[in-house]
Amino acid sequence: MRFEVIQGTLHRANKVVVYGPEGIGKSTFVSHFPQPLFIDTEGSTNKLDVRRFPKPSSWQMLKDEVTDVINERPCRTLVIDTADWAERLCIESVLQAHGKKGIEDFGYGNGYTYVAEEWGRFLNLLQDVIDVANINVVLTAHAIIRKFEQPNEMGSYDRYELKLGKKTTAQTAPLTKEWADMVLFANYKTIVYNVDGQGAQKGKNKVQGGKRVIYTTHHPCWDAKNRYGLPDEIPMDYNEIRHVIEDQAVKADQTPPKDKKAPVKQSAPESAEPDKSHQEPAKEEKATQPMDQKQEPVNPPDPRVDERIPKALRDLMIANGVDEWDIQNVVAARGYFPADMVVADYPADFVSGVLVGAWTQVYAMIKEMKEKDSLVFN
């Protein structure tokens, strides 16, 4: 037999989806996961004291930030906040790559298929964060109420679903739920009761309650699941799932995250600050010291890059150390525009569809030209 047979429970980092109505506290809840690092796609963590990457201005920048987490391992939990705003970047990327203005312009539903395929590749990249770096991945998302009809029943009813694209959700939402180990639905628990004795359907009703809770198992009115035997309903408190998240991480790999400064951190454990919700074990605190020491921004402002350049391209240039002359030479080499034409004067559709939409290929050409000493630097 060529393949090894593996039996027993496999422990690894967790894949978690947390969704619910806006303002219920999803970002605050996931900020208590072990050493979270946020990729904030919508700016919802501005008022939270958390570690974060710069807000991605393009789909390529978002993927580059995830790749950076795999390579550098600067955290124990990667948070994409939120998935529905990340999907917007995905849709924009697909439109730019095919020169379309709207998802319906593809015809025959092809646009939705392209988005689903690209979203699936993104989930595969997040899976590498789990498998390669042993880092938890958490996706937050908003909830939306939609009509649902069961194939074997008459009538329809309302239920909560992931608020991914209004039309693309039929393909991207199932992929996301299938990918996750836990899908947690956060909501306000309310009770409706009749006050005039005429029944809830015709009479006057009032609502009481409003406690924030998390539902962990499937219900006709919402999607949820977990693979750890959690109660159907728990308070919206990270301590309720702490044992699942942190026990899995400890059993999966006792090795601390990759850090070049790891030997130095052992001599300064006293600099660690306790977690607000619970004290981490001393050994865990030691392993995490160098990560907190790296406070400089990932993409510092670069005055050498013309501010007139569209932000999506400018962010990619700064993140990858690319200057305007690099872009101009590659563009000229491909015969698009003259070498002396500044990047800020390129047409907007060329910037979004070619330079940003195919940044991986553009950047590969820049590196190749530099290696061959084909560029002439100012």
Residue range 282-315, pLDDT digits in tens: 444 434 444 444 444 444 445 567 888 888 888 8
Tens of pLDDT along 98-132? 888 888 888 777 888 899 999 999 999 999 999 99
**85 burial class (0-12, 13-18, 19+ CB within 10 angstroms)?**
buried
Query: Hey, what are 117's tokens?
Result: 């395929």
Residues 15-248, CATH architecture: 3-Layer(aba) Sandwich (3.40)
CB-count burial class (<10 Å; 0-12, 13-18, 19+) for 373: exposed
Whole-number pLDDT of residue 152: 73
Cα(219)–Cα(376) distance, integer angstroms: 63
Using the predicted structure, report yes or no on whether residue 51 has a pLDDT greater than 60.
yes
pLDDT at 297: 41
Domain residue ranges of the chain, discontinuous segments joined by +: 15-248, 259-293, 311-371
Instruction: Give the pLDDT mean for 332-351.
Output: 86
Per-residue DSSP letters for 330-356? Answer: HHHHTTSS-TTS-GGGS-HHHIIIIII
**Global model pTM greater than 0.85:** no
Q: Is the pLDDT score of 17 beyond 60? A: yes
Least confident range of 21-25, 82-86, 339-343: 339-343
Which stretches does DSSP call E strand in 176-319? 182-194, 205-215, 233-235
Nearest CA among 17, 264, 313 for reference residue 138: 17
β-strand 136-148 against 77-81: which pairing, if any?
A: parallel
Helices assigned H by DSSP within the chain: 26-30, 59-72, 83-98, 110-131, 169-179, 242-252, 262-265, 282-293, 311-320, 324-333, 348-350, 359-371
Render pLDDT for 203-245 as a digit per residue (tens, 0 to 9). Answer: 677 776 678 999 999 998 999 999 899 999 999 999 999 999 9
Whether 136 has a pLDDT exceeding 60, the answer reads yes
Q: Indicate if the pLDDT at residue 264 is higher than 60.
A: no
For the chain, the C-alpha Rg in angstroms (whole number) is 24
Q: Positive or negative CA dihedral for 274, 278, 283, 289? A: negative
Spatial contact of 79 and 58, defined as CB atoms under 8 Å apart: no
